[in-house]
Amino acid sequence: MSNSEKLFAEAQEVMPGGVNSPVRAFGSVGGVPPFMVGAKGAYLTDADGKEYVDLVCSWGPALLGHAHPEIQSAVHAAVDRGLSFGASTPDEAKLGKLIKDRVGGVDRVRMVSTGTEATMTAVRLARGFTGRELIIKFAGCYHGHLDSLLADAGSGVATLALPGSAGVTAATAAETLVLPYNDRAAVEAAFAEHGANIAAVITESAPCNMGVVTPEAGYNKFLKDTTAKYGALLILDEVLTGFRASSSGYWGLSGKDEGWNADLYTFGKVIGGGLPTAALGGRADVMDYLAPLGPVYQAGTLSGNPVAMAAGIAQLTHATDEVYAHILKQSNALQAKLSEAFNEAGVDHSIQRAGSLFSVAFGTSAKGVHNYADAQAQEAFRYAPFFHSMLDSGVYLPPSVFEAWFLSAAHDDESMEKIFAALPAAAQAAAAATA
């Protein structure tokens, strides 16, 4: 047995499925997941000493690359000052200001620890502020494992082909209206029938949990205009896309140019620099409904943890325009090489994009992927052999076709050439796959 096989067997004795997040179990692609013991720059190293070019980047946070020296230095200095104080620290507001300065409509920021906690708080705040109960979400969008938002969710729920989750009551599910993504008529019909009781629409700024799905032109603005018309709020989930799709998230590729802001935003991943941190932010009048100023309660012992704040500040400070330009350049190059390999192997596919984020969907060249139904209808069986061919060649991809691919500032030409060299054989494996 390899070291990873031994470690996975041991993990299964103490953790459900041997993992602490379902997609890590490789249920979608099969096989034993390599257990990682180190990361540097664009590379991961597993327990058997094998090195991989990493296209997961910790699901987004490794924007600058793994073990970036400036982030490491900031974290080490913060650790020397203490791990947690249970009291306010200067860096909380400093990181909050960095977020506020990048995204329009963010007047106030509340730090939390996870993306799920951020969306949970945003939903509660929207209900408290409006005095309404119903939330609209879109099929295939994943907003963490909050009970009321797990209906028709993407991410691991899509990977495991689950319709929702056991343990979510019918009463809780009834508080959420699930609509098809990119469908304006469905939104209009829902507001026409329930508008007086809809507290908010929550949407991924650009969905990345059913694979990437690009919002149709003007779709997010349409959601903003519709919610404003009916007195509801727009919650823009930028946990994955925030400070990833661009320097100001996917809002920077849509709302910034179109002249609109969301009422509430949720952030995570990148703002923690690799440590568990998330946040919600938005309009002052809405955010001030949070305790201690308002009646909507939220608290967290580790919210604004000083070590995580230091990592986030270092990350955003060094995430310059040059960093984003480099990542986008490498992403575009990889997308082109990916399509070239698939075309040469005769593999029907399309590539969905959200800034530098992208994913591939098999058998979808005719119309692409515009919603959850499109994503589920693809030839997903082709991904596992493609994935394992790339893994055998030393390239670590997301272990599910329903996830986005990530690059970092550390992906230099040498690491990109290693990815390119692995693509032809992997494309042939995808071509040979059968359902």
Helices (H) and strands (E) in the chain, counts: 15, 13
Say if CB 114 and CB 278 are below 8 A apart.
yes
Gap between the terminal Cα atoms of the chain: 30
Rounded Cα distance between 53 and 45, Å, is 9
Nearest one of 56, 98, 52, 48 to 315, comparing CA atoms: 98
Bridge partners for 351 per DSSP: 360
Q: Is the bond leading into 292 cis (omega within 30 degrees of zero)?
A: yes
Q: CB neighbours of 366 closer than 8 A, spacing ≥ 6? A: none
Find the catalytic residue in 142, 181, 324, 383: 142
Say if CB 312 and CB 277 are below 8 A apart.
yes
At 199, give phi and psi (nearest 5°): -80, -40
Find the catalytic residue in 52, 152, 181, 269: 269
Q: Exposed (0-12), middle (13-18) or buried (19+): which is 128, by Cβ within 10 Å?
A: middle
Rounded Cα distance between 303 and 276, Å, is 10
Q: Where are the alpha helices (DSSP H) in 31-147?
A: 69-81, 90-102, 115-130
What residue type is 94 in one-letter code?
K
Based on the residue annotation, tell me whether 412 is a catalytic residue of this protein: no
Q: By three-state DSSP, how is residue 176 classified? A: strand
Structure-block tokens of residue 335: 């997308």
Based on the residue annotation, tell me whether 269 is a catalytic residue of this protein: yes
Find the catalytic residue in 237, 250, 372, 374: 237
Distances (CA, A) of 96 to 5, 81, 176, 293, 425: 42, 21, 30, 18, 46
Concatenating the DSSP letter of every residue in 269-305 gives GGGGBTBS-EEEEE-HHHHTTBTTTSSB----TTTT-
Which residues have a catalytic role annotated?
Answer: 142, 237, 269
